[in-house]
Chain A
């Protein structure tokens, strides 16, 4: 066996092949080193993000007017009078994200169930590109849509004395439409990955199609669905342009979705939009808020990934 292999390799050894040599050429070590550097580069990005955000945020907390406690629990954000309480920005972020999820989770899940359990290949082929287009539209376009379409509509329905020109509801609804395709497609993947045998078992026990979908397929895919929802929440919290355009400029501690209030991301955009001078309190504050945002979305993403990995182990 070894002999015949050697013979074959001798036959195959053309002039070119022998020049290439059987051992690794020295140049390849350089190439591999370069590729390794490319691979490790992403770690440097994360380190740079954490380092820069922490460095500037520490400068922010060195100010005598700010402590970590007053930052996290303060109810007023007024940099002009040295009030740096992040709660109003946090509540606005929570309100807009919750409205977005109230649109995106039920609708996205229902679309996913329809596509995976009911739709024919033809309908699937028509709906999926629509979802891809919705997901590919830049967020600034959704901001335009929120401000010039959803807001006037809300003001028409609820009255313009109830709904302010800039309001969290319009921003949240637009954000819901933005996140809808993400939740729909991730949940659809999770539902489609449920083995057919589980469904067959359900039918054999006399279940209807709907009962199989709701009582067997959805519970079996619940980890994938919850991962999609977590990722959606993290997208909503970090979403910037829609809230910057439609939710209003100026921190406001309110839970009323028809009032204007500034979210964390909205504040960061507004402050850095002008010519921001370095080492000012404004400059440092966007890094402190950025760090908070980074930590929250990072934790949500990690949990979501953990769930997905667990879910993969179950069926593959």
Chain B
């Protein structure tokens, strides 16, 4: 005999068996959940593991051999150091160094650093991960002695203050992410200025003014669809419109003055506008939810004392929903901050040494830098990528923490 669920009486009466099956599955559900947590742990572990560890550096010239008349250069006064530098680098290179900042004005420590970079010329020969460095120290030392007799083994934290404050460089030992961080921040500023007012305006319209007609239904459906459009589509839209069609504006050529021939539209302005379009639907949806959470009684009370609709919105609905709006907006900004594909498509430059000066500058961004370094085959660039990921994740974590703080600090329950 079978019932509608397809179980026969024998199975149904076997209660211990049914409970056993239930227990096994319960274990399976629990393990899946643990597995999800495990993925996050292993991801973070991998990134930290690659950001620290032993490296072997080999020198073009041994730093201990550098001496003038028997005195090691590191003991020389500043004036002699500059002379030494002048004698040992090409005249053109010396001029460039002087141009960046006259050597006399630099500190002893800075000049020492320049001597190491220009004359000693250290190169990374091999790198190890953090776990290897911790648990296989002897083996690493043996390998270093055997394969790189002239090399120096040292422990390096790839993510450090110099890394954050130095500009991009093709040499992994001196490469930094300052230009990338500044680029990312400027992009975010442009994206926010563009998308926050429009997004908030759209949310207010949809929640407070829109009646239930076909146009407003279309707008709502459309916003939901836009939120699901792949980010790379926004990238090619930005390429076609901001970079190409609006080139006179986004390149800054309409301001005149600068050499128009070298300008193109692949600037921070284009990138920021593209990111703005990308997060606009998210901002609208989140703001709508925040506005919806303000109870109708507050509006009624405001109308009751004779306020107009806009006065009600401006003086009561918005102040009450601003924490929710900000929380949603910050989450949208953090999405823009980590977005890579659209920026690659609109043509973010990968090798930018100078800080972006204005919204019309060419730029690189933190995720772009990570993408570039990850795609290089050498290990030391993977280490740089891991170090940049740590910086990116810390910045994102900061933004999210701010969002959660705002939500908890200003949340009101009605």
Contact = CB atoms under 8 A, between A and B. Distances in A.
Contacts of A272: 235-236, 239, 344-347
A241 B230 contact: no
Contacts of A162: none
11 contacts: A24-B308, A28-B309, A36-B205, A48-B237, A110-B28, A111-B32, A137-B396, A138-B338, A278-B244, A294-B229, A301-B228
B370 A20 contact: no
B389 A302 contact: no
A141 B111 CA distance: 37
Contacts of A231: 228
A34 B201 contact: yes
Given A17-B306, A140-B370, A141-B392, A240 B230 contact: yes
Contacts of B197: 38
Interface string A115-150: 101110000000100110110111111111101110
B66 to A, nearest CB: 37
B241 interface: yes
A143 B241 contact: no
Nearest to A184: B36
A52 to B, nearest CB: 4
Contacts of A287: 236, 240
Interface in B166-218: 197-202, 204-206, 209-210, 215-216, 218
A157 interface: no
A22 B306 contact: yes
Given A56-B240, A238-B231, A287-B240, A130 B226 contact: no
Nearest to A8: B304
A235 to B, nearest CB: 8
A298 B205 contact: no
Interface residues of A, number: 98
A12 B305 contact: yes
Contact of A141 (B33, B39, B47, B210): B47
Contact of B224 (A114, A241, A305): A305
Nearest to B37: A130
Contacts of A6: none
Contacts, number: 274
A147 B374 contact: yes
Contact of B280 (A42, A133, A177): A42
A69 B259 CA distance: 46
B219 A39 contact: yes
B341 A28 contact: no
Given A269-B232, A297-B229, A141 B370 contact: yes
Interface residues of B, number: 93
B32 A138 contact: no
Given A272-B344, A297-B229, A211 B18 contact: yes
A13 interface: yes
Contact of B393 (A45, A141, A290): A141
Interface of B: 5, 12, 18-19, 21-22, 25-26, 28-30, 32-33, 35-37, 39-40, 42-43, 46-47, 50, 197-202, 204-206, 209-210, 215-216, 218-219, 221-226, 228-233, 235-237, 239-241, 244, 277, 280-281, 284, 305-311, 331, 334-335, 337-341, 344-347, 367, 370-371, 374-375, 382, 385-386, 389, 392-393, 396, 400
A245 interface: yes
Q: Which of A25, A127, A145, A234 has the most CB of B within 10 A?
A: A145
Nearest to B370: A140
A40 interface: yes
B325 to A, nearest CB: 14
A155 to B, nearest CB: 15
Contacts of B224: 301, 305
Contacts of B239: 272
A58 B25 CA distance: 53
A220 interface: no
A244 B341 CA distance: 9
B25 A210 contact: yes
A280 B40 CA distance: 43
A150 to B, nearest CB: 10
